Amino acid sequence: MIQLVNIHKTFGKVKALQGVNLHVRPGSIHGIIGENGAGKSTLMKILTGFIARTSGSILLDGREVALKTPEAARKLGIGMLYQEPLDFPKLSVLDNFMAAAADTNPQRQAEIITRLSNKFGFTLNPSSRQGKLTVGERQQVELMRLIRDQCRILILDEPTTGISGEQQKLLFGTLRRLRDEGKAIILVSHKLAEIHSLCDRVTILRHGKPAGEQEKPFNEEQLLQAMFAALPTRSSRPPRRTPGKPILTMEEVSTTAGRVGLDRINTTIHEGEIVGLAGLDGSGQSIFLQMAYGLLSPEQGRVSLPDADVEDVMRVFLPADRLGKGLIAGLTVREHQLLAGATPFFIHSGCGRDETKKAINTFSIIGTPDTMAEGLSGGNQQRLLLSLIPPQARLILLEHPTRGLDLQSGRWTWHYLRSHLPDNGAIIFASPELDDIMEQADRVLVFYNGAIILDRPTDQTGYREVSRAITGRV
Amino acid sequence: MMEISAAVFLAGIASSAAPLILAALGETLTEKAGVINLSLDGAILLSAMAGFVVAARTGSMVVGFAAAAGTGMLATLVLVVISIYLGQSQVAVGFALTFLCRDLAYFLGAPFARTAGPQLSIVPVPILADLPIIGPVFFQHSLIVYTSFIAIPLLWFFIYRTPQGLVLRCVGENPEACWARGIQPRKIQTIYTLLGGALIGLAGAAFSLAIKPGWGRPQGCEGMGWIALALVIFGGWHPLKVAFGAYLFGFLQMSGIFLQDIFPSIPAQIFQVAPFPLMIFTLVLVHLGRDNKGRKFFLLRLLSGDPPDALGKNYRQV
Amino acid sequence: MKSRSIQARAGAAILQSVPIILLATGTVCLLLFALDFSPIAIIRAMAAGSLTSWLKFSQLLSIWVPLLLCSCGLLFTFRAGLWNIGIEGQVVMGAIGATILLRMNPGFLPPPITIIAAMAAACIGGSLWGLLAGILKSRGGVNEIFGGLGLNFVAQGIILYLIFGPWKRAGIASMSGTDIFARNLWLPTPVGWRVAPAALITAIAVFILSRLFLNHTRFGLKVKAVGLNPEASRLFHIHADRYGLFAIMVGGALAGLAGGLQVTGVYHRLIPSISSGYGYLGLLVVMLANYKSLPVPLITLFFAWLAAGSIQLPIMLRIDSSLSGVIQGACVLSALLVHGLRTRRQG
């Protein structure tokens, strides 16, 4: 039905997709799996007309289509269920259902809702407020809307994240039914269980390139290997430090912040430990780090720093969104140094210049003291953030520490972090790169749906166990 | 005797609130689409001038009101271009625009200041106008006051009961979701910003041709735009609540006029200006009461509402 | 990229403003031609009305002083990312604060001390009014634009109440204001001057100190950080709310000072329209300066010239004085339009 041939997409210098092919047949569910940043969401945005492809062709029923706007995709019968519900929380279910519909007769549309709800076993009240519904129910509304609009191609992006088991069962039933009615369904997921129970065929993406394709029944070993690349050698792994006293403890910590929240987290981080947080993006790692830093407070449970000597300034957090949340766009490199360091009241133009130059050299930042933060490349922004870590830091929290860095700078970053971490300090980092975690961490915590489902010293586990845990299998 | 004065009092509220209602409803329409038009105080004045001058020159009220509506749209077009399409801050553009419009009104209108001009005549509704109390309050007004009466339910119906109104609310809530559904958010925003501008223009003409007839410096409608703006915010972006606020302001103004007769020793200026701070004070109280979850604030919560989620943020269409 | 000198930056800024000036002048000239007015004659009249003698120029400076003070105050609030539309109310409350002390006129204090105390009271009045808007925002969730706007009306109500109530003139209360203060409480103004030298010096000093503070102190840097990215500021251990309140209080204090100087230096009494719209005009100035401090003295001077010069227009050319406001508004909108086109072209 729909065929993608040799799709390329570049953002500036970044190659997001390189030569992706996809062929989805009517009456089938086609899975697309891959790690974070494998290019799944870029591919879906191209399919729905949100962004334009750089090159390659898309054929619908054998005819080439342009797909320049979402409107065009909609007219061709392509509909998507977004991971974050793209709806109108303040409006009623009925209004959400009717928005931009061809027919907007409230009675008729309410009848359609009832009819479709009955068909698929949903229980939705057309007059309740969309924002009051659970994520799963919001999804159901969207799904019914796409069905009403006679979408022939349905794309679902991580549809089971954050929904209950009951809703998942309903969703799967609905999807199977739609497949049997002849629709083409594309399922983007990282959960192997889902792929197994739903898909007829699966395409694996890695770093923007196709990394394999399988027909049902799937070989799980091969899928994992295609997703996470070859197992690297573990030659340069530095010796593990002996854990000391507890530095951070979480007891029964729960929250509803973020996509999946946190679900009864119990853990203790010790001095000297380097802890890696694994899991798919948005499984709770980021909330965990923000909680550890004190940016968020738990709704239930307790976060504490047992060592009273750990002051506020000894906690450091380097967020993944470097320019949006870590650095201040509009300030120069030197001004960042001045904000982070011990600065005299009066700042003259020479103030902090030497220190900044030194930092630029030490951290090989490509830029001058007067370069604005937004003028630095992603990797250099990370180096700047690293250079701002005060020497007395004892609890260093990092989100995606080596993202955007080349191999060498990545190694250098870790070397720097390790050599500057005091004996009574600890590092907790979240990383989408399993290699990073297996190589650098002493201990790995795997997050799945807001809970820690695996907690092991890295030398007592392996890629297999961790990658299975990431996909929800323990 | 009491009966008559009560009727006069209520009729006064109904007519003096008319332009405020038109302006505030126009702004409601614009803000529902996620655009904040801060220029209305100046735009009202500019269209008041345009309406007055054109009506005086052509001798036609219809042409005068049309000219005012056109002027209002023209003023908001500046906001559409610089903010919606060029991405500059809506607040900054609207603020600069309101002062430009105000001074442009005085500048262009200077030759016509204190000249004779037409005034919209009262058109009593047959039969209904003779009813006791209700007659004078509702059915002995000029056409623009009737327009304001009709505009309230009409706008409510449009926003909450029509497909176009649904699209309008959707754009104000989540332009990206609209884009995903094949709606062009910026086009919708442009339409309703201009439509709001037209209503603001009508409000201006309602001042200069009916409620405070004449042109001069000051015209007498200065500050009304800011009140209208506040009414929209604190009226919870709901046309009925916004209109209620406008009548409340009309009540304060009429009370001023009545009290002035009772206390001749207090200078007139106090009564003219007092409604403004009193109104704002009331609105802020309502707003603060809204956050309180206590039951005693139930009435206040009834008056409250949330802003459109995308209000004031320019949508960057890819 | 080397650190650029002030001259180089000023040069670049001037170059950047060429299209803005052309656009604004072009539009205004077109308007004037359409109305059959001669722009040259207007410029001549305005120059004659404001630049031909020291007396006239000092009249211009007397407008420059409050405008510069308000603009400096706004530099602080804009730097902290706040739209301080409540500045008009802050000017009014400053004027009221000063009047309270000047009316008390404690005899045991030498008059200069009373004046200085009155100016301090003006700063306090303005900054408390600013703080109120700030608290409404951080505690009450009222956006500073609407809170400030509301407080402007409230301040206007208070000043009218005072002038027509407790502070009314002996005999009859009127819009002309309170009784005139004792002469020794006027800010000394030499013969042939229209502006008090002390006010002039204060304004210049405030500008220099504001610039120094905003650009060359740790505090100023933190205010800037909060304005640019409150979320990231937290990771630098900066309390965004606290710095926001601080900025709006400083802004209010400077606006209040402007009000106080109007009372003791210009009108020698409290009048209902004491702010003369300088607060709002200041907002236009800082917007036109693209929120930077360096161009502010020049732009305020230009705006003051327009305001002072336009007073002559009705007399000499039968043109309404509001032309000055038209030019000011056209400048700011041209600047916004040019900025918009520039950012669009860049991406």
Same domain, A251 and A208: no
Question: Which of A304-313, A335-344, B146-155 has the least mean pLDDT?
Answer: A304-313
Contacts of C229 in chain A (CB under 8 A): 324-325, 327-330
Q: Where along chain C do its domains lie?
A: 49-280
Q: Which domain holds residue A186?
A: 2-228
User: What's the structural domain count of chain A?
Assistant: 2
In the predicted structure, residue A353 carries a pLDDT above the cut 70: yes
Closest to C155 (Cα-Cα) out of C211, C92, C103: C92
Assign A31 to helix, strand or coil: strand
d(CA C151, CA C133): 7
Residue with the larger pLDDT of the pair B131 and C100: C100
Model confidence pLDDT, tens digit, residues B182-206: 899 999 999 999 999 999 999 999 9
Q: A228, A263, A298 — which closes off a domain? A: A228
**Which residues of chain C neighbour A331 with C-beta distances below 8 Å?**
221, 224-225, 228
Banded pLDDT at A232 (limits 50, 70, 90): very low
pLDDT of residue B291: 53
Q: Which amino acid belongs to residue A126? A: P
Asked if the Cβ–Cβ distance from B280 to C320 is below 8 Å, we say no
Same domain, A316 and A430: yes
- Tell whether A234 is covered by a domain: no
Which DSSP string do the residues of C49-118 spell out, in sequence order? HHTSSHHHHHHHHHHHHHHHHHHHHHHHHHHTT---TTHHHHHHHHHHHHHHHHHH--TTS-HHHHHHHH
Whether pLDDT at B132 is above 90: no
pLDDT at A438 over 70: yes
Contacts of A427 (CB under 8 A, 6+ apart): A273, A274, A275, A396, A397, A398, A417, A421
- Least-confidence region, from A215-219, B206-210, C38-42: A215-219
B69 within 8 A of B198, measured Cβ to Cβ = yes
**Same structural domain for residues A160 and A260?**
no
Q: CA C227 to CA C77: how far, in whole Å?
A: 9
Strand partners, A15: A10
Measured distance CA(A187)–CA(A85) in Å, rounded: 16
Supply the pLDDT for residue B227: 87
For chain A, say whether B179 makes contact (Cβ under 8 Å): yes
% of chain C with per-residue pLDDT over 70: 97
Check whether residue A222 and residue A262 sit in a common domain. Answer: no
Percentage of chain A surpassing pLDDT 90?
Answer: 44
Q: Give the tens place of pLDDT for each residue, B46-76.
A: 999 999 999 999 999 999 999 999 999 999 9
Strand order in the sheet with A262-270: A262-270, A246-255, A300-304
Among B125-134, B168-177, C139-148, which is the least confidently predicted range? C139-148
Neighbouring CB atoms inside 10 A of B222's CB total: 16
Q: Are B47 and B205 in contact (CB under 8 A)?
A: yes
- Interface confidence, given as ipTM, is 0.91
User: Using CB atoms, which residue from B173, B176, B181 is nearest to A91?
Assistant: B173
Examine the domain organization and report whether A171 and A282 are in the same domain.
no
Classify B115 as helix, strand or coil. Answer: coil
On the question of pLDDT at A190 being above 80, the answer is no
C1, A370: Cβ pair inside 8 Å?
yes
Instruction: Please determine, for residue A239, whether its predicted confidence score (pLDDT) is greater than 70.
Output: no
Q: How confident is the model at residue B290, as a pLDDT?
A: 58
| A93-97 own/partner pairs: CB under 8 Å, 24+ apart | A93/A124, A93/A125, A93/A126, A93/A127, A93/A128, A93/A129, A93/A130, A93/A133, A93/A141, A94/A126, A94/A127, A95/A130, A95/B166, A95/B169, A95/B170, A96/A130, A96/A141, A96/A142, A96/A145, A97/A126, A97/A141, A97/A144, A97/A145, A97/A148
pLDDT for the residue numbered C4: 57
Task: Report yes or no: B193 and B37 within 8 Å, Cβ to Cβ.
Answer: yes
Helix (H) or strand (E) holding A455: strand A451-457
CA C234 to chain centre: 31
pLDDT value at position B295? 37
Decide if C343 touches A, using CB distance below 8 A. Answer: no
Dihedral sign, CA of C144, C150, C156, C158? negative
| C234–chain A Cβ distance below 8 A for any pair | yes
Q: Is residue A238 part of a domain?
A: no
Residues of B in contact with C167 (CB under 8 A): none
The Cα–Cα gap between A395 and A169 comes to: 42
User: Do residues A423 and A271 make contact, with C-beta atoms less than 8 angstroms apart?
Assistant: yes
Structure tokens at B225: 């735009």
**Tens digit of each residue's pLDDT (9 = 90 or more) over C279-336:** 999 999 999 999 999 999 999 999 999 999 998 888 888 889 899 999 999 999 999 9
Fold (CATH) for B2-302 = ABC transporter involved in vitamin B12 uptake, BtuC (1.10.3470)
Q: How far apart are CA B245 and CA B227, in angstroms?
A: 10
Is the same domain home to A196 and A254?
Answer: no
Query: Domains of chain B: which residue ranges?
Result: 2-302
Residues of A with CB under 8 A from a CB of C: 295, 312-313, 316-317, 319, 324-331, 335, 338-340, 343-349, 368-371
| Mean pLDDT confidence for A122-136 | 88
Count of CB contacts below 8 A, B vs C?
133
B173 Cβ under 8 Å from any chain A Cβ: yes
Per the structure block, which two tokens stand in for A468? 């299975």
Q: Cis ω on the peptide bond leading into residue A217 (within 30° of 0)?
A: yes
- The pLDDT score that the predictor gives to residue C198 is 95
Task: Find chain A residues with C-beta within 8 A of B177's C-beta.
Answer: 86-88, 99
Inter-residue long-range contacts of C13-18, CB under 8 Å, 24+ positions, other chains counted: C13/C292, C13/C294, C13/C295, C17/C335
| Cβ-Cβ contacts under 8 Å, B229 against chain C | 146, 149
How far does chain A reach from its first CA to its final CA, in angstroms?
Answer: 37
Domain assignment present for A134:
yes
Nearest to B39 by CA among B211, B203, B207, B243: B203
Picking from A171, A225, A218, the residue whose alpha carbon sits closest to that of residue A199 is A218
Question: How far apart are the C-alpha atoms of C151 and C252, rounded to whole Å?
Answer: 12
Q: Which residue of C has its CA nearest to A330?
A: C228
Structure token digits, residue C79? 């730097």
Question: Per CB distance under 8 Å, which residues of A are interface residues toward B?
Answer: 48, 50-51, 69-71, 74-75, 80, 82, 86-91, 95, 98-101, 104
A270 DSSP β-pair partners: A246
The whole-chain average pLDDT of chain C stands at 90
- Tell whether C283 lies on the interface with B, counting CB pairs under 8 A: yes
Cβ of residue C237 closer than 8 Å to a chain A Cβ:
yes
H/E stretch holding A111 reads helix A106-120
At C249 the pLDDT is: 97
Total residue length of chain C: 347
| Domain presence at residue A128 | yes
Rounded to whole angstroms, the Cα distance separating A410 from C131 reads: 47
Contacts of C48 (CB under 8 A, 6+ apart): C312, C316
Query: Which one has a higher pLDDT value, B83 or A367?
Result: B83
**Angstrom distance (rounded) from CA A146 to CA A143:** 5
Q: What pLDDT does residue B296 have?
A: 42
| Eight-state DSSP code of residue A158 | S
B299-313 burial, b for 16+ CB within 10 Å, e for fewer? ebbebbbebbebbbe
Pick from B106, B269, B281: CB nearest C160: B269
Residues near C72 by Cβ (< 8 Å), separated by ≥ 6? C206, C207, C210, C254, C293, C296
**Contact: B82, C160; criterion CB under 8 Å:** no
The verdict on a CB contact (< 8 Å) between A50 and B174 is no
How do residues C194-243 score in pLDDT, each as one tens digit? 999 999 999 999 999 999 999 999 999 999 999 999 999 999 989 999 99
Highest-confidence segment of A65-69, A302-306, A411-415, C280-284 = C280-284
Torsion of CA B243, C146, C299, C229, to 10 degrees: -130
- Residue A328 belongs to some domain of the structure: yes
The enclosing H or E element of A429 equals: strand A426-430
C183: which residues sit within 8 A by CB, 6+ positions away? none
Closest chain B C-alpha to A382 CA, distance in angstroms: 27
Distance from CA of A248 to the nearest CA of B (A): 36
Closest partner CB to A328 (pick from C2, C4, C228): C228
For residue A154, the SS3 value is: strand
pLDDT for position B305: 67
Backbone torsions φ then ψ of B17, nearest 5 degrees: -85, -10
Which of A71, A75, A87 is the closest to B177 by Cβ? A87
DSSP-based three-state secondary structure for B308: coil
Name chain C contacts of A296, Cβ cutoff 8 Å. Answer: none
Per the CB < 8 Å rule, is A328 touching C221? no
What percentage of chain A reaches a pLDDT higher than 70?
A: 96
Match 């009304």 to its residue by tokens. B224
**Do A388 and A336 contact (CB within 8 A), yes or no?**
yes
Nearest chain B residue (CA) to A92: B166
Q: Please return the burial class of C113, using the count of CB atoms within 10 Å of its CB with bins 0-12, 13-18 and 19+.
A: exposed
Residue with tokens 């009729």: B11
